[in-house]
Chain A
Amino acid sequence: MLEIFSTKIILFAIIGAILTGYTCSLMGTFVVRMNLSSLGFAMSHAAFAGAALGIFLRKDPLIFALLFSTFVSLALGPLADKAKLKTDVVIGVIFSLSMALGLLFLNLSPDTAMSSTALRILWGSVLGMTTADIIYLLIITVIAILFVIMFFKEINSILFDRKLARASGINDKPFYYLILFLTSLTVAFSLKLVGGLLVFALMINPTSSVYQFSYDMKKIILFSPIVGVISCLLGMLMSFSLDLPTGSSIAIVCSIIFGISVLISPKRRKG
């Protein structure tokens, strides 16, 4: 009985890792190309603030984490456009606000000490994957894939240059906001596996690794998620074999793959 239970946990962890690795790295192609690398950081801290509020209110922290990161994603695009600031600057403001709110809520919580629930949001807990988590991850993965397939022309054009995309007759704003929104959903649903602090490593490193081998955006969009899945699976293997935290192991594997990619990149070869 115990064996079946643990097999189910491992199976859920593997499925969760595949889905998280795929979606994070797919959205990572947009995040890297649009210079939004701090986006994952801001989203994860918004999720942390939400989780802290959930703990303070004695409600489900994950729901509040989702609500906060979704709110940030919806506010980010219009705020950057209205304030005429670079998105990275607005992300910086949101990041510090989220961190401040998170610590404030935790401080106000009856248990006072940094709750283990809030820490799980930051560091992840892959063995705690539930059927619901897997279903949510599957839904967000399918949505992300459909988004890329259905609007490939528009996305590709915006990734090349937003102004030129607009000049060619593409309504860039809704797509830009959708990219931010889907990225935040991906971050929120990936918290369980890698945690908020490491999720952006999974977004940036696989894409940055594939960047070392190609100048073709189509190939980067195609191969980044595959590298993301491989990173997650190898990271989990490392985590289980050496009894290390899963999120950290995945981030280390991602970084090693990136380091090797930089070293053997044909882009740095002359002649």
Chain B
Amino acid sequence: MSALGKVVRSGVGRRRVQTLVIGLITMMAVAASVLGGTLLVVSGAPFDDAFAQQRGAHLSVEYDAGKASAEQLAKSADAQGVSAAAGPYRTATVSPRLDSGMPEWPMTVAGRDNPGKGVDGLTLTDGRWPTDPGEIVLSADASLFPALRMRLTFPGLPGDPQLKVVGVARSVTQTADAWVVPAQMAALTTPGNGGYQMLYRFTDADTAAQIAAGRKAVTANLPPGTAVGEQSWLTVKKTAERDTALYVPFLIAFGVLGLVMSVLIVGNVVASAVGTGTRRIGILKAVGFTPAQVVRAYVGQALIPAAVGTALGVLAGRLLAVPVLAETEQVYGSSTLSIAPWVDLTVIAGVLALVTVTAWASAWRAGRLRTVDALAVGRTASAGRGRWAVRLAGRLPLPRPVALGLARPFARPARALVMGPAVLSGTVAVTFTVGMGASLGEVTKARAHDAADVTVAAPLPEIGPAGPVPDERPAADPAKIAAAIEANSGTGKYYSAGTARATVSGVAGTTAVTAFTGDASWGGYTMVSGRWFDQPGEAVVPTGFLAATGTEIGDTVTLNGLGEPVTVRIVGEVLDPRYDGMQVFTDAANLTAAHADLTDISHHIAVKSGTDVGGYVAALNKNLAPLDVTAMAGGPDRGSDMVVTLNTLSALLTLMLVAVAALGVLGGVLLDTRERVREIGVHKALGMTPRQTITMVLTSVVLTGLAAGAVAVPLGVSLHGWVLPAMGDSAGLHLPDSVIAVYDLAQLLPLTLGGLLIATLGALLPAGWAARAKTATALRTE
């Protein structure tokens, strides 16, 4: 090994704290960057690839078959801006029943001769395309589990048609839930039901405005009201990318924090390494090292742990990305997502370049030091900066070690200034994570709608080897349950909720319709805008529904597949991320005329003030026993894997940032105590006890910690105020103030002290070392 190699190796091996700190911070920065970069890449790639391959439809429009003929609709393909079109295809909303007799959710069926090529070319993932009536291809994305040779019956249709599943296909823009040959459509369409579907590709379709312009163009020559529903490819894309996109703003925040800390702490640690090694540099130069060799040696000393940290960081980033990618893979079915190697390479090159530049800058300065000055480090008196602070602190009614410690940052202002941002970044991360935890808690609460004190839930279905089995038991009469609740003493207010499935024209898939009996506005539903429904024919919907259907508050929407079409007016936007937001909340009375078959009926009760909930539940259960249902305390528990993952990930990243911030402080204080070891020896010789020594070293970081904490908390709150709405946008949610404004004074004050805590944590070890140093040894130290 060369002389340079020996020096580098010994520098890395024998200076473990510096090596560990550099390794850890690079690992953290790389892990966050690999995770963030990977998610950024994969969030768009699978959809874009599939969309290009299938020539997905930029816009699919559902037309009322009674208002325009197929010929009229076909001419819409000639509208300005349309580059290709397919259709018109006959469509119908049907409710199938399986071989087992189990009723299924309604679905949209389209009649097509073939999978298509020019627009929305379907990919057959299994089986074949239907060639005759009596055959059907199911969408891989439909709610009905697609299995070949399965038979579907349609009892609601004349002649009870029966279809055999012959294939499974995927439409990237999800234009329908199933496809049959056009000749089959007549048997699936009842009078007053059904329509036509046209699929369009436009020359310009990158923005919502361009899509809206395209829609205007294709419907311009059709009678008003012909278009009854539409779906933009931008909406489908956003939904498809939602799971991964949700993480992106959050990871960008942590990535930027990590990067800032990397720059600061790598700089600090390398500068510390060079600072503590100044005498060593002097010796190296005295022995014959050139300045360039000194620089190379110290860059090498920083790069070796950084390279190890980078390798571990790539590994950690990939491991963290696995669960998130797995979720995305599920969205795209069989497609396999992998981490792009160029992301790894870019991150590795970027971080190592950063370390190299930082180390080079610090070492270059040290390398240019006069050898005689470098050798004299530790033997010459300090410049005497900050003596005024010592004098001033000495006048305060404070113990001497505290006064000496408090004055220390003024003797080494540059070091305190470098240490400050590390503490600041750590405190910003803690503040942000506390806020995010609170915000996600609010989202979870809004999602659970669990304000009830007592819930009488619908009985769970029995699960057999092949899944849920038909429930032969007679369903409990909701009216009898309501009567039992009413009769139970202590009942304050209550409502019941039941679920039905419906379709909305122009949007593939089903919408969950929750119908309430009684006032449910107190049940934990968080309004984003508008108001809760209180008039017949009104409904509230989540943000996702508004986006998918292109509606807004005040619009009406028709729900199909409920027996009879039901039209409701949207009066409010509610926060609920379940089912991608495809939900409608309305009064059960609005569905009465449609004879909707409500399932999963639950009852939610708020007890009177002062009522013992346990006693209330016991008494109610006695009354409910004959009805075969059970009451339980609390609302429905609807935890979210996504929330748990986000909370875990943020806690993990924050812990890493705090640890790295503390290590940054440790590096700075270590350098300081080493420099002052003779001074500490003098103090000890004069009678300073180990406890007082610890106090002196710890108080030397108090001002830095307090100042950093005071600045960090507003920064953390601002970061939270930026990231949370961005995450909401990614998830297709508008977040109300109750979710974003989560900080209160009682939280902010302890958070401000977080900076002090991090600084103290970092200073503990060097303080202990200083206290344990033998006085004689300290006095002899050069």
A and B form one complex = no
